[in-house]
Structure 1
Amino acid sequence: MSQDYKFEGWLGKDKDSVNGKMVWGEFPHPKPFEETDVDIQITHCGICGSDIHTLRSGWGPTPYPCCVGHEIVGKAVRVGKKAEKGIKVGDRVGVGAQNSSCLKPDCEECSSGLEQHCQHTVNTFADQYPDGSYSYGGYADYHRAPSHFVMKIPDAIPSEEAAPMLCGGITVYSPLKNNGCGPGKKVGIIGVGGLGHFGVMFAKALGADKVVGISRSHDKKEDVLKMGADEYIATNDDKDWAKHHARSLDLIVCTVSSPSMPLMDYLQLLRTKGTFIQVGAPEDKLPDMNAFAFIAKGVKFGGSMIGPPWQIEEMLNFAAEKGVHPWIQKVPMKDANKAIVDMDQGKARYRISLVNEKHL
């Protein structure tokens, strides 16, 4: 199958690119096509906080030039003879934050359906394959990925809604599902932004008895209640909030990525034997913690990172079945520079999907 298109996109050339200074250009070292791969003509790409961290080298040195974006939806235009999942040319497909793993039978993680924890993971952008080529993300015209990490998008989900589910959605769906969110559980979501708003909606759809949105101010209260939350806690507006809501939650998913967040106060909200799962990743460190926050009530503190391909597919089908619709702002791909600045300034309500209008 021939290729008559170029791999071009918005390239971050240095740390200043996060300030709306990405430049459109051709990818210098894209992955060579293999018969297990799929090429995707991109129609939509969500903007994720990971894009911001990577553009400014917040989590470590970025291999510039990079093209960010790992919430990719579009049309399969080239499909290798050994592609998985019955993907065909013309199918509407998506890719999340992971592009590859070793997939070897003797890999403990890959063989047990935990590909996101494989020691040989290749991220969807700003990462390197074993052959020395690089992965480039979805602020672009085309994307190439191994078919194992490509999934078909259910017909019931619009592309602009499916895109942010592929990272933002699975980042909270996975820890909710893996930690027993459902009937009989009282669940708190800390930080009701792009990730947190997914958390509220998925917790409610999974059948939690009570869903509590937790943020600093009352600014988002009305929105969060409309999303399905039963209660809202504004930590800046009640100096005794931790005392007033102590021992009220079975499970907390924290999406906040600030080293100054009141972590010890958050832990007070857990009931005995409760579970706290951190998904937000600060660029430096988490706040200090006292061991008695865990010992006294026998609570668990854990972390979660995206989810494996099979669980992303499960999430998409669940969202289609339950009618979960994220709150999305659509922005033309040509305006990606402005969109990342808006995202970095907290203006998104609550996820931004770039729309590649030339491919619609």
Structure 2
Amino acid sequence: MFTTCIHCTADLGRNEAFEPFPVGSRLAFDGRRGRLWVVCRNCARWNLSPLDERWEAIEAMERRFRDSRLRVSTDNVGLARLREGVDIIRIGEPQRPEMAAWRYGDQFGRRRKRQLLITGAVVGSATAIIGGVMALGASAGSFAGVYANGGLWETLIHGRQNKSIGKVRLPDGALVDVQRRHARMSALEHAGPDAPLQLRFEHVGGTSLLTGDDAMRIAARLMPTVNRFGGSSAKVQGAVQLLEDSGSPMGVLLQAQQRSGRRQGDEVWGARGKRSQIRKLPGTLHSLPIEQRLAIEMAVHEESERRAMEGELQLLEQAWREAEEIAKIADDMFTPAAIESRLEELRRSSR
């Protein structure tokens, strides 16, 4: 049974409410379509379960939802809190805007609030520092110049661009590290009206041109970083409207691909994450309008789930296995050899 978030590789936790499905403490289910998700407490994204036991678990969740007194619901979506501390979301037949409010509004809203708090703290700290420097006799203009010339202000607000956001497996099996700047500078490529989805993927090892399912899989990993500032309710609804107007998730991706032409003023980041020069580049993910970026993140998740369900869940099984493998690699990177040795001794002694 898989226990790692597909999107951020965090531990999904466990519950004691559902014996057939003990993973996660916030669960969503759609009994009519036979879908079951684990909502990650760390990143708030939904992990579609590929497990064969999902039907038994869904039936148990339906019973517990109906029996629960701590619940709120509309005609199509309901939320219940069980006595074991587990939240269950019951999906009926919502229209896309209502479903988006439940599924995406929470995660985009949480990101936005978190970044607003970080920005407020940074601005407050910077103001205090400037005030202290001025008290020592330095001018605000000279201090602000240090911020501007060194890129310190942008680093404080937007975060370190060379910070790793995780590892991604390429189609050839290679595992590459991805930094924030790589997510920002990757781009959807326009290769003609009948061409498959194409993504110019930047990573520590260089640049890879991905197509089709590989492009969608990697885009799903990149978009949360590109959209790290989330979006307001109005922006989320604007993104939902783009999905509606496009007719399908793939329509959103193809439209974004077609609109990605050459732009003036795109940023180019050096090997150490510093801005080096400005030149013409194909339209990058971070340069797209907010509504379109949010719509792309929604679209890659919905399209990948649709393909996984139609393909007997093989793609989803592969995604879960890869997430757990990468999570283990990340854990091993930070576990000292002496501790690993001691853990192995404890495992053997407990058998």
Shorter-chain TM range is: under 0.3
TM-score, normalised to structure 2's length? Answer: 0.28
Using structure 1 for the length normalisation, give the TM-score. Answer: 0.27
Which of the pair is proportionally richer in strand? 1
Which is greater in Rg?
2
The structure whose residues are more often helix, as a share, is: 2
RCO higher in structure (CA 8 A, sep ≥6): 1
